[in-house]
Amino acid sequence: MNRKVEIQDLGLRDYKETWDYQEELFGSILDIKMKNRREGAGLETPNYLLFVEHPHVYTLGKSGDVHNMLLDEKQLEAKGATFYKINRGGDITYHGPGQIVGYPILDLDNFFTDIHKYLRFLEEVIIRTLAEYGLKATRSEGETGVWLDVGTPFARKICAMGVRASRWVTMHGFALNVNADLGYFDHIIPCGIRGKAVTSLHVELGKQEVSETEVREKIQKHFFDLFEAESVASVKTVTEN
């Protein structure tokens, strides 16, 4: 089993371009697994953790309701945002500047073959990260993601999650609001859940801005601890062509 995970920092990158890149890595792992199965090649499958920040974009999961998107095409254009129907689980969400988006592209055969456990681990990574800022984040029963003040009238979501998996290979992942403009969430019914608010780390801490580099480093630390993974020697930064 290969428990090495290559970190790639994609910087600010268009959503569709990043989605295509995810598919490329995802497909290459599946190809290796198929070759191993058919030919007994015994080849090692790689693992990746992509970090990225997207320009304003709304994405709708395959089980989502398009009516949870409250803007039409012209209104989206006026907001400088794009919209995509995509192949992850979950409903609608927003990505944009001030948000740390993580896409683990893992062969779970290298770790454990349990999607439920995988989602709980991703949530736990964020819960532990937020604890370092003095926030008690938790899960909300039946609602994937990470929340604050669950079970109170002030429940609010700080991290959305949605994944796709095939033959135990994962893609898509999590989006943690760090310095996010929460006004963009007013134009959707986030994750299809009515009556619950969305928040951001900088709002919770009462700060103008939180260091996204610092938050990302904490996420990495907890990710590698929980998955008992080993980081590839150097962090690889992928720049746009």
Q: Is 137 annotated as a binding residue?
A: no
| Greater pLDDT, 188 or 196 | 188
Contacts of 112 (CB under 8 A, 6+ apart): 118
Q: Is 174 annotated as a binding residue?
A: yes
Q: Is 95 annotated as a binding residue?
A: yes
CATH architecture assignment, domain 4-55+92-237: 2-Layer Sandwich (3.30)
Q: Tell me: the pLDDT tens digits for 16-53?
A: 999 999 999 999 999 999 999 999 989 999 999 999 99
The percent helix, strand, coil of the chain (3-state, each to 5) is 35, 30, 35
Candidate list 191, 198, 210, 219, residue with the active-site label: 191
N-term to C-term CA, the chain: 33
Q: Is 93 annotated as a binding residue?
A: yes
Predicted structure pTM score: 0.92
Q: What is the pLDDT of residue 212?
A: 97
Question: Rounded to a whole number, what is the largest CA-CA distance in the chain?
Answer: 57
Contacts of 31 (CB under 8 A, 6+ apart): none
Neighbours of 222 (CB within 10 A): 18
Which two structure tokens, joined as six digits, stand for 64? Answer: 């989502």
Residue 4 to residues 84, 230, 232, 233, Cα–Cα distance (Å): 32, 5, 6, 9
Residue range 188-201: mean pLDDT, rounded: 76
DSSP type of residue 82: E
Name residue, tokens 């304003």: 56
Please tell me the distance from the alpha carbon of residue 150 to that of residue 140, in angstroms, as a whole number: 6
Q: Is 81 annotated as a binding residue?
A: no
For every residue of 100-147, DSSP letters joined together read EEEEEE-BGGGT-S-HHHHHHHHHHHHHHHHHTTT--EEEETTEEEEE
Q: Is 11 annotated as a binding residue?
A: no
Q: Tell me: the pLDDT tens digits for 102-129?
A: 999 999 999 999 999 999 999 999 999 9
Q: What is the pLDDT of residue 177?
A: 98
> Which band of pLDDT confidence, cut at 50, 70 and 90, is reported for residue 61?
confident
Q: What is the pLDDT of residue 238?
A: 54
> Which band of pLDDT confidence, cut at 50, 70 and 90, is reported for residue 241?
very low
Q: Tell me: the pLDDT tens digits for 146-166?
A: 999 999 999 999 999 999 999
Q: Are 105 and 25 in contact (CB under 8 A)?
A: yes
Instruction: Specify whether 191 is catalytic.
Output: yes
Of 176, 175, 180, 174, give the one whose Cα is nearest residue 203. 180
For residue 35, the SS3 value is: helix
Q: Is 88 annotated as a binding residue?
A: yes
Q: What is the pLDDT of residue 62?
A: 84
